Structure 1
Amino acid sequence: MYPFQVMKFETLVELMEKAGQEHAANEALGTRKGPGRWEWIHYRDLKKMVDEARGGLAALGVKKGDRIAIISNNRVEWVVTAFAAYGLGGVLVPMYEAQAPEEWKFILNDAGAKVVVAATETIYQTIRGFGGEVPSVTRVVCLNAASTEPDSFAKLLEAGRNSPAPLAPVAPEDQAAQLYTSGTTGEPKGVQLTHKNLSSNVLASCSRFDFGPGDRSLAFLPWAHAFGQTAELYTFIYFGAALAINDEIPNLVANLAEVRPTILVAVPRIFNRIYDGVNKQMAEKPGIIRKLFKEGRALSARLRQGEKLSFTEKLTHNLADKLIFEKVRAKFGGRLRFVVSGSAALNTEVAELIDALGIDVYEGYGLTETSPVVSVNYAGNRRIGSVGKALPGVEIRIDHSATEDSTSGEIIVSGPNVMTGYYNRPEENAQVLLPDGSFRTGDMGYIDRDGFLFITGRIKEQYKLENGKYVVPSPLEEELKLSPYIANVVLYGENQPHNVALVVADVAAILAWAKHHGIALGNLETNPEVKKLLMGELERYSKTFKGYEKPKDLLIITEDFTTDNGLLTPKLSVKRPNVIAKYGAALKKLYV
């Protein structure tokens, strides 16, 4: 669709400078102002705001090497703050609004942040309330404050207009950002990423995809995380494409219909919801529609494999597309060309369904420590179930000595995207960074003969059963979560005779099931009929598991894992140690 453009840059400062010039008239960022109403800022105006904010930060005493923290969800001011900081040679330290105040305090002290940009009045007052507990902080700016307030973002921009600041000399090797890992185990660590790390990753990723100024997306991944920041924000800026900013997750479906994106960057949880929703809808349809859906999926799979369909098969596939698949695509706005998925493993069955719907899904793999993209599937080079081939300039090798497994080994990554190290963590750096600068990911996988990388689990998560067999739980849990009655699940079995499962019941689905079958539930968590249903679901969705991997019993709960209860990280990864700490005693009773 678009000839690949080469806009050379070595720093994120250059990226914004060139985007502001070459894409000046293009829509850059859209903000929802109400149902069907979006306010767009163009690249020329975005660059103007960045220039003003740079002057404002300079007026606050920010200079090269200083840490500028921002605690905010995605918004125009997030982008402005980031690039203003880069332009002064500052280091951006992004955090999530959903994080606990104690985490903010820890990160501010660990990073030695000088200025904090807070999204809301509540966050602003919280940071101000830390006082001497965060001695490095000299100023807090509030994005939502009235323009007349001295600490408002409007006043910061005004100061920059009155006292413009030139761009500082920034080299590719200079640090650009310090992104804190979510901390599924232990305290968050500050990942130091240079301009070269991030710029090289943007350029390598962009070489794999067919983007252009006419493309549009809906941004709902947090830019405080490396995946949303590089694969979405910086990539779209590079191409001069438009990003509408999703305001609230409950509005996501409605916003997709309004924005009508051509490209999406998403995470598996979104596709799991689509999978669940489509299957629930099909279960309520007449038998002839269910049959057409099944045949349409099978024919789509054959087309993907390069097979030719007969005339009758083409008619069947077209009918399935018209009556079923097209209606699902319409929920995305009807213009979607492809989707890039990352941040966690995408279940193969889910990927095949999305593909059957006529939406190309390109799954990739990466980590914060690798800026983040390591590998990705792309047009003409896609293998469902894999996370694609290594990006240009990135090398992947497999260390079997780390796993003692002849097939899967630890994934080791080298290239210009690998971090310089964790901030002030020499012991952790020694554990993960090899003498040649390569990074031990802690992830397990293998590379097939065509160069496609497959992820099989995470080394730290694997555990040994009493019989000596190793279990890697994450991919197994993803399979079990395909059940419409299971909202979440964690397998448990370390040093035990077999696996059991902690199942978060999908309460709405089970209530509907109980009503349909005339079952009085009472306490859902202890109801024997619910347990029978969920044990059947575990058996159904574990058919591909090895015998020792299958859970033999389960504990039912109705409280899902969330960031508020400390069982999910801000990027929605399960904090397994926290889950086991909370429910471990009850799970152990299942073995008595």
Structure 2
Amino acid sequence: MERYETPNNLVDLFEDAVKRFKNNPLFGVKNKEKTGLDWMTYGEAGARVDNLRAGLAQMGVGKNDVVGFIGNNRPEWAISAFATYGAGARFVPMYEAELESTWEYIIRDSDVKVLIVSKPAIFDKVSAFADRTPGLERIFIIETQGEGSLGELEALGAKNPVESVKPDKYDVAALVYTSGTTGEPKGVLLSHQNFSSNAAGGYHLFTEVLNEEARSLSILPWAHSYGQTAELYNWMQFGGSIGFMESVETLADDLALVSPTFMIAVPRVFNKIYDGLQAKMKETGGLPKALFDMGVKAAKEKRELAAEGKSNFLVNLKFKLADKIVFQKIRDKFGGRLQGALTGSALMNPEISHFFADIGVPVFDCYGLSETSPAVSMNCFSAYKVGSVGRPIENVKVVIDQSGVDAIGDDGEIIVYGPNVMQGYHNKPEATAAAMTAHGGFRTGDRGRIDEDGFLFITGRIKEEYKLQNGKYVYPGAIEEDIRLLPNVANAMLSGEGKKYNVCLVVPDFEVLGDYARQKGLSADPFDLVENKEVTDMIAAEITAFLKGKYGGYEIPKKFIFLADDFTLDNGMLTQTMKLKRKAVFDKYNDAIEDLYKE
């Protein structure tokens, strides 16, 4: 396939895609009967972008003005973004499921001039604090008609067309606000080159599966740079199509309806599917479980033999049988066409990675941050090492800095250089200076190492690490991720700084435990389950056994607190990217944690 050289700005990227793929389907939304998808072509999207860009110009939006957007992924998200870029303005996306105080902070901090919201309920909430955001002049609603609607603004633009502004590659395209595990959100200033170079770097690693026939099921919010770059801007380069997930609850139906060929996701999606398969096989038993177990074993043997350049007829036969009877049914659950997936935000468990690769749906770990647009490194079909986050993408350089860090072997702080590195934090010069090196590198705050083949491995998070009383360091993130892989655990957080040993806050998976409770004649109420010693002892034993051998004895938690309430966005204990806000958790449960250390 001929290499496509991506333009250095998002306006040319979109307009070029409209010309090249005018009649290709671009966005697919469930129809009213929810039996199929209604498709918008590249050409139709281009016409709406032209109209909205002109409508924004009628509202006085021009160079470096700010257009805000509150809503989930939908065609109007992309139309609003590309219309804003074409007006020479900056785009500020916000999550629909967000605290109103966070909306207010972002609108005021970024000085949003025109705001587009998905529904009237959001309009009402924003209107309640509009007097505290003096820069906000107009709000337009997508899901309404007539005055004050997005449709009205597009119609106004259709009557007063204007040409698009061609931005410089260094012009800021968007402010992506980090939800932040501590403190107030920071507006990451990302330029047109930041986004376009990053999309190109990812695309060039997957040209064998990313083409005009490629289709994605959009499940990750575009309000985060990962969803924007890896999916939306990436797809513009090769003319693929994007169907939208209606909700998490409808994911299984949406997979069947959209039939994606490649997905941009997070490990949790595949962890849940894997756990569900294991639970289903255990419940079904009999011949189906025997075939499943045989297939998994044969797939592992087949993989290990292939690594040695060997093959075995009986192993191949067992795998072929299981693949036809069992694994094909699993692939069908993904819509039957899925060739692979890219996952970020956390590392896939190696066992689960191997499983999906063995059944024909490889899941590739990548690494990045909002400040790096976001991709730094990624695995792909031609260069893949389980447990790593791949090699740096083109034009990106990774340096491991051991100065100022208690290095363990060859690990240190990951510093990133390249065209993907942000322009800085909006209105925060001190934070920008602290995050950047003298030569333009970004200090990630993550620990890592690079092996002899150039693959990057994440070893921890500098700000999250802590010392026990014995002087040994603990890197809680990896341990917590492993604990969450247990079927009976939904969430977990370690604590132990300055203490004799680690303790762990555990949120059980009450859906899984509910089945167990009913079989045992126990109450399935979450509050009853976390008070039931039989249940909590069982989970504690599972955690200890699972971690033993993989971690040092000092790292494994000695005591546990079981919680009936999960860490969520609503209670302020998770960021939008599902990372723990440790301080918020400590603030709430500090007394209970301290009680565990009382002899």
TM-score band by shorter chain is: over 0.9
Structure 1 residues 318 and 325: alpha-carbon distance in aligned structure 2, compared to 1, 3 A threshold: same
C-alpha separation in 2, matches of 1:170 and 1:68: 16
Could you report, residue by residue, the CA deviation over 1:490-530 in whole angstroms, capped at 9, with x for unpaired residues?
11111111011100011122222233344567821121101
C-alpha separation in 1, matches of 2:507 and 2:194: 39
Q: Check the 8 A contact 2:25/2:241 in 1, yes or no.
A: yes
Instruction: Check if 1:28 corresponds to 2:30.
Output: no
What is the Cα deviation at residue 299 of structure 1?
A: 2.6
Aligned to 1:386: 388
From 514, 518, 536, the counterpart of 1:515: 518
SS at match of 1:333: coil
SS at match of 1:264: strand
- Count of residue correspondences: 588
Instruction: Check if 1:190 corresponds to 2:187.
Output: yes
Q: Check the 8 A contact 1:283/1:290 in 2, yes or no.
A: no
What is the Cα deviation at residue 303 of structure 1?
A: 5.8
Instruction: Check if 1:547 corresponds to 2:546.
Output: no
Structure 2's unaligned 5+ residue stretches are: none
From 460, 468, 473, the counterpart of 1:470: 473
From 535, 538, 542, the counterpart of 1:537: 542
C-alpha separation in 1, matches of 2:577 and 2:306: 32
For 2:343, the aligned partner's letter is S
For 1:140, the aligned partner's letter is I
Could you report, residue by residue, the CA deviation over 1:344-379 in whole angstroms, capped at 9, with x for unpaired residues?
222222212222222111111110000100001112
Could you report, residue by residue, the CA deviation over 1:387-437 in whole angstroms, capped at 9, with x for unpaired residues?
000011000010112321133211000001100100111111111101111
Instruction: Check if 1:452 corresponds to 2:455.
Output: yes
Aligned to 2:65: 66
C-alpha separation in 1, matches of 2:325 and 2:571: 42
Q: Check the 8 A contact 1:521/1:527 in 2, yes or no.
A: no
Aligned to 2:110: 111
C-alpha separation in 2, matches of 1:345 and 1:381: 17
For 1:342, the aligned partner's letter is G
Instruction: Check if 1:165 corresponds to 2:170.
Output: no
Q: Check the 8 A contact 2:70/2:96 in 1, yes or no.
A: yes
Aligned to 2:222: 223
Aligned to 1:268: 267
Aligned to 1:480: 483
Q: Check the 8 A contact 2:295/2:319 in 1, yes or no.
A: no
Q: Check the 8 A contact 1:566/1:578 in 2, yes or no.
A: yes
From 314, 317, 320, the counterpart of 1:315: 317
Q: Kindly, what percent of the aligned residue pairs are identical?
A: 41
Structure 1 residues 483 and 152: alpha-carbon distance in aligned structure 2, compared to 1, 3 A threshold: same
TM-score w.r.t. length of structure 2: 0.96
Instruction: Check if 1:345 corresponds to 2:347.
Output: yes
What is the Cα deviation at residue 572 of structure 1?
A: 1.7
Aligned to 1:589: 595
Instruction: Check if 1:562 corresponds to 2:574.
Output: no
Q: Check the 8 A contact 2:292/2:322 in 1, yes or no.
A: no
Structure 1 residues 89 and 467: alpha-carbon distance in aligned structure 2, compared to 1, 3 A threshold: same
What is the Cα deviation at residue 300 of structure 1?
A: 4.7
Instruction: Check if 1:357 corresponds to 2:359.
Output: yes
Structure 1 residues 132 and 42: alpha-carbon distance in aligned structure 2, compared to 1, 3 A threshold: same
SS at match of 1:69: strand
Q: Check the 8 A contact 2:573/2:582 in 1, yes or no.
A: yes
SS at match of 1:444: strand
Q: Check the 8 A contact 2:8/2:193 in 1, yes or no.
A: yes
TM-score w.r.t. length of structure 1: 0.97
Segments of 4+ in structure 1 off by > 4 A?
518-522
What is the Cα deviation at residue 466 of structure 1?
A: 1.4
Question: RMSD of aligned C-alpha atoms?
Answer: 1.4
Q: Check the 8 A contact 2:11/2:166 in 1, yes or no.
A: no
For 1:382, the aligned partner's letter is Y
Structure 1 residues 551 and 8: alpha-carbon distance in aligned structure 2, compared to 1, 3 A threshold: closer
Structure 1 residues 245 and 293: alpha-carbon distance in aligned structure 2, compared to 1, 3 A threshold: same
Could you report, residue by residue, the CA deviation over 1:550-581 in whole angstroms, capped at 9, with x for unpaired residues?
01110111211211111111222221211111
Structure 1 residues 104 and 400: alpha-carbon distance in aligned structure 2, compared to 1, 3 A threshold: same
Structure 1 residues 29 and 391: alpha-carbon distance in aligned structure 2, compared to 1, 3 A threshold: same
Could you report, residue by residue, the CA deviation over 1:210-233 in whole angstroms, capped at 9, with x for unpaired residues?
210011111111001000000011
